[in-house]
Structure 1
């Protein structure tokens, strides 16, 4: 078996080479090793160019490069890349109460067991995490029984939406370097990606199920929930007390309320009756002297009978010929008598009475409440 060659050596790079260094080295070597540039030894050029492409495919991908750096020694010792499988902690046994003995910080206690477990999972992802990535964030720790709930909340917020950083490239079913053309290479890449995504999804679901199991049994979460419920109950009690105080204060104001004379609906109605009685008396007096009066002008008489004359002339209106309901004055007893028999006057009188009765009822209801 031929000895494996380091990808960094193939490209003439150091292990701390930047992405720009990798691109620059690939362009230079591709020009010199391309089969078209070596017509005298095309077989050697084909092999070297394929190895160069393989090295570039790995080192140009940040996650692939991290995986290669992690397993570089095993690969160079002759272990096949497809046989290298990243070990993952099996989380299934930890979804049981048998994995801890008590809710304490002892060696076999709830908080110690799960603190070590989540640290192991985080360490498995660490080689594949890019600290230069803008989405990179510090992984919160599980803590102990005395950890403040703000830190506990931060821990569960992160782990309940956990996404593994592993590439699962060892699950690839096909080698893209064996593709005879670009079309087949794209199909191979698509198929391999589907397999990797399925493995990544399975791992994410396993960890999230574990986090949900632990959260339901975490005494720190239960204690915080009790505090929130007690606080909500206290706020409810205070709100109810304030509401009762407001009702009592309103009732007290109503008890101490003294109706002003000018706001009394009963007094207003009595005044209205007095005015109507006064107008009736005046009307009767004028009616007795009606025979001694001259006939009024025909035009004025017709307009007064219709109740629609709104034009003023030089004659003065009688002070006592005034309708308070219609807010209108008249020149003669006949015009005033015709107006009283009109439909408009009767409608206004009925409306005014109804409004006064409605307001009086509203005041009575306010006093009862």
Structure 2
């Protein structure tokens, strides 16, 4: 790969210069303008110049007329018809010769490129540049992600601080009204729990939709009808037993006690040794029936 006579650069520089001269001379002979093709150069040619050389030569479109590929001499044609046939055949031969010439040039360029140390160095430099840019891009991406994370953290702290300031301002102006609001909210939640419990079926529900579906079920309706019958029966019995009720119990208290006793007969009781689990607030039997 030295620069002396017979070296890689000397041999191929001479070869490409000869091809370039032929291209230029034949183009000018045809009345055209010859294209100046780049020289192969030496071992010290820059990487970008090396790339330019291979790009141009690898996509060469020859300006030669390829008349040397003609198979027939038109002056030998005996008739005009034969002459036209000769011209058509010569045109095919020139097209074929042009294609073979282009293929040969491209094969030569690819062969020399694979052997050229300048091209290998250029590709390595390009790969290194891509790696460097990728590392820089990744670092920039990580920095941006860190910056956004820190910004979100600062915004969260600022928002919490502003919320605390607003809360303190409300307390300063309205006093304990916020506590009253909490009590009302807790009371509403308790009422909601009471509404979403079925005393007859001993079930609780997480949403109004679940309660509505349960209220439409056959099992629930059957228990409601049964409870109504038991309540009507209990009212009659309570009316008779009202005068004899111990401690002067009110009629409604007697009624509820008797209905509860009747319902208890229909359910399975937990053994005495077991500790019953706490139940959520439930609506009374009378509320469900009504």
TM-score with structure 2 setting the length? 0.51
Q: Distance in 2 between matches of 1:138 and 1:174?
A: 32
Cα gap change, 1:250 to 1:154, in 2 (>3 Å) = closer
Counterpart among 65, 74, 86 of residue 188 in structure 1: 86
- Tell me the secondary structure at the aligned position of residue 43 of structure 2: coil
Instruction: Report 1:115-126 matches (<5 A).
Output: 115-126=13-24
Q: What is the match of residue 241 of structure 1?
A: 139
- Tell me the secondary structure at the aligned position of residue 28 of structure 2: coil
Counterpart among 127, 133, 152 of residue 32 in structure 2: 133
Deviation at residue 226 of structure 1 after TM alignment: 1.2
Q: What is the match of residue 82 of structure 1?
A: none
Which structure would you say has the larger RCO, counting Cα contacts within 8 Å and 6 or more residues apart? 2
Cα gap change, 1:263 to 1:197, in 2 (>3 Å) = same
Instruction: Report 1:1-369 matches (<5 A).
Output: 103-130=1-28, 133=32, 136-256=34-154, 257-258=156-157, 259-260=159-160, 274=181, 277=184
Q: Distance in 1 between matches of 2:138 and 2:71?
A: 67
Which ranges of structure 1 fall in alignment gaps of 5 or more residues?
1-102, 282-345, 348-369
Q: Distance in 2 between matches of 1:177 and 1:110?
A: 46
Q: Distance in 2 between matches of 1:138 and 1:183?
A: 41
Cα gap change, 1:235 to 1:277, in 2 (>3 Å) = same
Q: Distance in 1 between matches of 2:178 and 2:6?
A: 94
Q: Distance in 2 between matches of 1:106 and 1:176?
A: 48
Cα gap change, 1:272 to 1:126, in 2 (>3 Å) = farther
Q: Distance in 1 between matches of 2:71 and 2:148?
A: 80
Which ranges of structure 2 fall in alignment gaps of 5 or more residues?
168-176, 189-207, 210-290
Deviation at residue 123 of structure 1 after TM alignment: 2.7
The Cα RMSD (Å) is: 3.4
Deviation at residue 228 of structure 1 after TM alignment: 1.1
Count of aligned pairs between the two proteins: 175
Q: Distance in 2 between matches of 1:237 and 1:176?
A: 67
- Tell me the secondary structure at the aligned position of residue 108 of structure 1: coil
Cα gap change, 1:208 to 1:164, in 2 (>3 Å) = same
Q: Distance in 2 between matches of 1:170 and 1:249?
A: 71
Q: Higher helix share goes to which structure?
A: 2
Deviation at residue 197 of structure 1 after TM alignment: 1.9
Q: What is the match of residue 56 of structure 1?
A: none
Cα gap change, 1:185 to 1:121, in 2 (>3 Å) = same
Q: What is the match of residue 234 of structure 2?
A: none
Cα gap change, 1:208 to 1:273, in 2 (>3 Å) = farther
Q: Distance in 2 between matches of 1:254 and 1:174?
A: 84
Deviation at residue 234 of structure 1 after TM alignment: 1.0
TM-score with structure 1 setting the length? 0.41
